[in-house]
Structure 1
Amino acid sequence: MDRTHGSGGKFTQAAERAADSKGFERAARVGYVASGVLHALIGIIAFQIASGGGGNADSSGAVAALSQQPGGIFLIWFCFVGCIALALFQASRAFLDRGGDKKEVWKKRATDAGTAIAYGAIGVTFGIFALGGSSDSEQSQVTWTARLLSQPTGQLLVGVGGAVIAGIGLYFIYKGLTQKFREDLGPIPGQTWQRTATVTGIGGYTAKGISLLILGGLVIAAAVTADPEKSTGLDGALRTLNEAPLGWLALGAVGVGLIFYGLYMGLIRARFGKL
Structure 2
Amino acid sequence: MDNTPQAAARAAQDSTAFRVAARIGYVVLGILHLVIGGIAISIATGGGGEADQGGAMEQIQKAPAGIFVLWLVVLGLTALAAWQVGEALVERNPDTKKKWGYRLKYLGTAVIYLAIAFTALVYALGGQSDSSESTQSFSAQLMANPAGVVLVAVLGLGVAALGVAFIIRGIRRAFEKYLALPPNAARRGIVTLGVVGYVAKGIAIGITGILFIVAALTHDPETAGGLDGALHALAALPFGTVLLWIVGAGLALYGIFCVARARYTRM
TM-score, with structure 1 as normaliser: 0.89
Aligned to 2:264: 272
CA contact (8 A) 1:94 1:109 kept: yes
> How many pairs align?
257
- Residues 200-219 of structure 1: matches in 2 within 5 Å? 200-219=193-212
Aligned mates of 1:114, 1:200 — CA distance in 2: 24
**Rounded Cα–Cα distance in structure 2 between residues aligned with 1:260 and 1:173:** 14
Partner residue, 1:106: 100
Aligned CA distance change for structure 1 residues 225 and 18 (closer, same or farther; 3 Å) = closer
Q: Does 1:33 align with 2:41?
A: no
The 5 A counterparts of 1:246-265 are 246-265=239-258
For residue 184 of structure 2, the aligned residue among 175, 191, 196 is: 191
Gaps of 5+ in 2: 1-10
CA distance in 2, matches of 1:47, 1:203: 16
1:220 paired to 2:220? no
Q: 1:181 and 2:181 equivalent?
A: no
How far has the Cα of 1:19 moved from its partner? 9.1
- Contact 1:149–1:155 at 8 Å: present in 2 too? yes
Question: Which range moves more in the overlay, 84-93 or 69-78?
Answer: 84-93
Share of identical aligned residues, percent?
43
Partner of 2:114: 120
Please provide the CA RMSD for this pair.
1.5
Q: Deviations over 1:15-44 (max 9, x none)?
A: xx6896222111111111121111110000
Alignment map for 1:235-250 (pairs within 5 Å): 235-250=228-243
Q: Per-residue CA shift, 1:216-241, capped at 9, x if unaligned? A: 11000011111100001111110111
Residue ranges of structure 1 left out of the alignment (5+ in a row): 1-16
Shift of the 150–183 alpha-carbon distance from structure 1 to 2, 3 Å rule, reads: same
Q: Is the 8 A contact 1:87 1:115 kept in 2?
A: yes
2:223 is matched with which residue?
230
Deviation at 1:54, TM superposition (A): 1.2
**Take 2:178 and 2:138, find their aligned partners in 1: how far apart are those partners?**
32
Structure 1: which 4+ aligned runs deviate by more than 4 Å?
Answer: 17-20
> Whose Rg is larger?
1
SS for the counterpart of 2:94 is: coil
Match of 2:77 among 58, 83, 93: 83
